[in-house]
A and B are shown apart, each in its own frame.
Chain A
Amino acid sequence: MSTGHCWSCEKPAEHNLFCKFCDTLQRPATDYYRFFDLPKKLVIDAAELQKRFYSLSKLLHPDRYTRRPQTERDYSLEATAILNDGYRVLRDPIKRAEYILSEAGFENAEQRTKDIPPEMLEEVFELNMALEESDKSQLGEFERRFEAMQGELDVELTALYQKWDKVQDKQTLAEVRGVLNKRKYISNLLNTIHGNLSD
């Protein structure tokens, strides 16, 4: 983050990408939302995000700094890496929520038994049997069921995202965390099934 002064003209810096006095590239901010100049919300307009990604790319990409001083070249590389990392995170609803959660001090998604709904346990037991016998038709049946469950969780998530965007409280984030953990568990099961079906 540009703290204090512009590295080039030494005039006061104001946390912008470019110095407003001499127009040189400054050390970039690392907060993805601030980088894209977007409000911290869980619901993001994908088209608007892509628009910003393209216009920032045109401003910051190392290709534009080949014949600039080394400091600006370094900042360009750094800024573009943050831009690309940020775009990857913000355009994916799951990664985006994980990002906000980790900023808020929540642990990363882990497979925790307490997040697995009890009614799932029997399903998973049956799934393991089907996997062992590699019963393709039964696996296909599981695939459909789990995909439907994932769809329900996504609806639930969308509602939670909208709720948090209004209230921005810790309680809602905790709920998001719980649903994401369930979703992670189911997507792991789906990955196992896909792996088996494509063998």
Chain B
Amino acid sequence: MGTFQIDFGNSKSQRIVGIDLGTTNSLVAYMDAAAPKVIPGADGDPLVPSVVSLTPEGEIIAGNEALKALITNPESTIYSVKRLMGRGIADVSDELKLFPFRIAEGSESVIKLKLGDKTYTPPEISAFILKQLKENAETELNEDVTQAVITVPAYFNDAQRQATKDAGRIAGLEVLRLVNEPTAAALAYGLDKRKEGIVAVYDFGGGTFDISILKLQEGIFEVLATGGDTHLGGDDIDNILLRVALEDIASEWGADISANPEAVQTLRRAVINAKHQLSTLPAVNIEFSFQGRHYKRELTREVFDKLITPVIDRTLSACRRCMSDAGLKPEQIDEVVLVGGSTRTPLVRSAVEVLFKARPHTELDPDKVVAMGAAVQAAILSGDVKDQLLLDVTPLSLGIETMGGLVSKLIHRNSTIPASATESFTTGVDNQTNVLIHVVQGEREMVRDCRSLARFDLKGIDPMPAGFARIEVRFLIDANGILNVTARDVRAGKEQTIEVKPSYGLTDEQVEGMILESIEMAQDDIQERQVREARVEADNILAATEKAQQNNAFFELEETEQQQITKATNELRVVYHGDDYHLIRNKIEQLNEVTMKLAENMMNTAVSKALKGTKIE
């Protein structure tokens, strides 16, 4: 019985939420009875802008409030942080030119962003967004939320996935599963359709593009192939429009405003608005005012389509590659599902329809469908949904460095996960006691063209002649698409110690540190609330005392008693503005004590008055 309780003690059905942590917007959803539901924030909007800002008061805010600060306070506001997740500075140097926020020193393996006088890594910034979603869910569900399924672009590599998991941990969420966004969307669609056949999911979001092709059969959603680009999205369309508008303004005004972050952000909002309107209108005006000058330019859908064609073409060639990987022709695709805000663009819809020769599904809101799918996956994990199962694949091949900087592939892309591979290693020189293994991810043949994942140091090999040792290393990609490595010394028959140095991202210790810091921050928050509450109480007692001092009862007190009250009142007023709620409470207590007799006297007077009144009656 005892072990039973320990084993199943945490199986108490606590709700698991599904989170879409997007480039532009984030959402949280849960499974209500049989349907996924998105949860609105305090302002009623389920879309929480993925924006984090430091207010002039030193408070960190996320969501719609932070989005406003993007215009008023652009240098202390971070957006599109998803594009920086799991990346080094060299990966993103091009696009950083378009970001107004500042990068701190030492950002080679993990980017550090400056916000006020502190620096934050992308997982920490994402954690602020996740905390907001967690809070929204807790308010809606009226219970603690500690477990979540979070979606990631299908084409995210190991470091980007790990960074997302880290963000969850920092936000106080146990991430039970990372689910690929297009697959999540398929789950959301499949739930009420229960169809069988081949489905293509075209997911064009704010910062990433994914294409996945699935086979639906017997409740199993089997991903056949996936592809995409983690740096291709609506942001790129915005950047094209922004560049064109900046050049246009420069030639019209004879002034380059691209160095002014506030002007650039205002103009960015203007072109984004124009883009959104062009989804339904044939032409719009881009309007922009700055320092008394006004800019207005008509943009027709025809010109817009021409400008964004190169971006759309990149998504289409990824689709063709994916079909060929799945061994399918367009005619064999039964259905196409559109996901992500960028699929509202008419050119995207028509291009997809032509390519797949199928009319795309748009019944579910493309902004919400991924979060809804995440909620379905959460219900699968909790056991509430039993007749469905998702079999996903790894988007990139996993390999190790061999002689001459070549890659030996161990697990090929589009392999169903979990997937594993075992490789034997030996020593190259006599008495060598460790072996270094360099793991990379990518499709190219040379190590330098792939992405370095990590270096593993196999230690503690018994000294023996070269080539005698036999270390078996098992590479296992789990259901989250994250690599786990174990090693065994075959001759000694013992587990081998492995020291992992991730090439990009945070070590476990760093994440632990961030969790602690975030708890300290939470304590700061608690402290702040305590101060506010103490002040409210002080307000009440001060007002009551002030009123009582006008009462006859006050003048009936002895002079020393009157002085004591005045002194205590003044002392409370002094500490009132401090940050120490203990001290405020202390002085409230003191004032309470010295006004005790006054309160009693007033009470007696009131009672005797009342008694007198009764007698007259």
Contacts and interface: CB of A to CB of B under 8 A. Distances in A.
Nearest to B420: A81
B478 A62 contact: yes
A77 B476 contact: yes
Contacts of B558: none
Given A67-B383, A69-B7, A77-B476, A58 B389 contact: yes
B217 A77 contact: no
Interface in A29-54: 54
B478 A57 contact: no
A78 B11 CA distance: 22
B479 A88 contact: no
Contacts of B217: 54
A81 B476 contact: yes
Contacts of A147: none
Interface string A70-94: 0000000110111011011000000
Contacts of A67: 8, 10-11, 382-383
Nearest to B14: A67
B450 interface: no
Given A62-B478, A63-B390, A67-B11, A54 B218 contact: yes
Nearest to A65: B381
B416 interface: yes
B406 to A, nearest CB: 16
Contacts of B415: 84, 88
B419 interface: yes
Interface in B140-183: 176-177
B120 to A, nearest CB: 31
A81 B476 CA distance: 8
Nearest to A61: B389
B502 interface: no
A150 B478 CA distance: 36
A192 interface: no
A67 B174 CA distance: 13
A77 B479 CA distance: 8
Nearest to A30: B422
A158 interface: no
Contacts of A77: 418, 476, 478-479
A84 B381 contact: no
A61 B479 CA distance: 9
Interface string B281-317: 0000000000000000000000000000000000000
B318 interface: no
Contacts of A78: 476
Nearest to A70: B7
A81 B419 contact: yes
Contacts of B257: none
Interface in B373-393: 377, 380-383, 389-391
Main secondary structure of the interface of B (DSSP, over half): mixed
A66 interface: yes
A66 B389 contact: no
Contacts of B333: none
Contacts of B420: 81-82, 85
A80 B418 contact: yes
A142 B122 CA distance: 52
Contacts of B7: 69
Nearest to A72: B7
A81 B381 contact: no
Contacts of B417: 84
Interface string B200-219: 00000000000000000111
B220 interface: yes
Contacts of A62: 418, 478-479
A110 to B, nearest CB: 14
A57 B220 contact: yes
A30 B113 CA distance: 47
Interface in A72-120: 77-78, 80-82, 84-85, 87-88
Q: Which of B7, B176, B219, B415 has the most CB of A within 10 A?
A: B7
Contacts of B218: 54
B408 to A, nearest CB: 13
Contact of A84 (B8, B380, B419): B419
A88 B390 contact: no
A39 B478 CA distance: 29
Nearest to B11: A67
Given A57-B220, A57-B391, A85 B479 contact: no
B476 A57 contact: no
A64 to B, nearest CB: 8
Contacts of A63: 177, 377, 380-381, 389-390, 479
Given A81-B418, A81-B476, A66 B391 contact: no
Given A62-B479, A67-B382, A85 B419 contact: yes
A66 B176 contact: yes
A81 B380 CA distance: 19
A63 B420 CA distance: 18
Interface in A4-22: none
Interface string B405-425: 000000000011111110000
B14 to A, nearest CB: 10
A180 B417 CA distance: 28
A190 to B, nearest CB: 15
B416 A66 contact: no
Nearest to B177: A63
Nearest to A87: B416
Contacts of A58: 219-220, 389
A167 B7 CA distance: 50
Interface in B216-250: 217-220
Interface of B: 7-8, 10-11, 176-177, 217-220, 377, 380-383, 389-391, 415-421, 476, 478-479
Interface of A: 54, 57-58, 61-64, 66-67, 69, 77-78, 80-82, 84-85, 87-88
The 4 closest A-B pairs by CB, nearest first: A81-B418, A81-B420, A66-B381, A84-B416
15 contacts: A58-B219, A62-B418, A62-B479, A63-B380, A63-B389, A63-B390, A64-B383, A67-B10, A69-B7, A81-B418, A82-B420, A84-B417, A84-B419, A85-B421, A87-B416
Given A54-B220, A63-B381, 17 more contacts: A58-B389, A62-B418, A62-B478, A63-B380, A63-B389, A63-B479, A64-B383, A64-B389, A66-B381, A66-B382, A77-B476, A81-B418, A81-B419, A81-B476, A85-B421, A88-B415, A88-B416
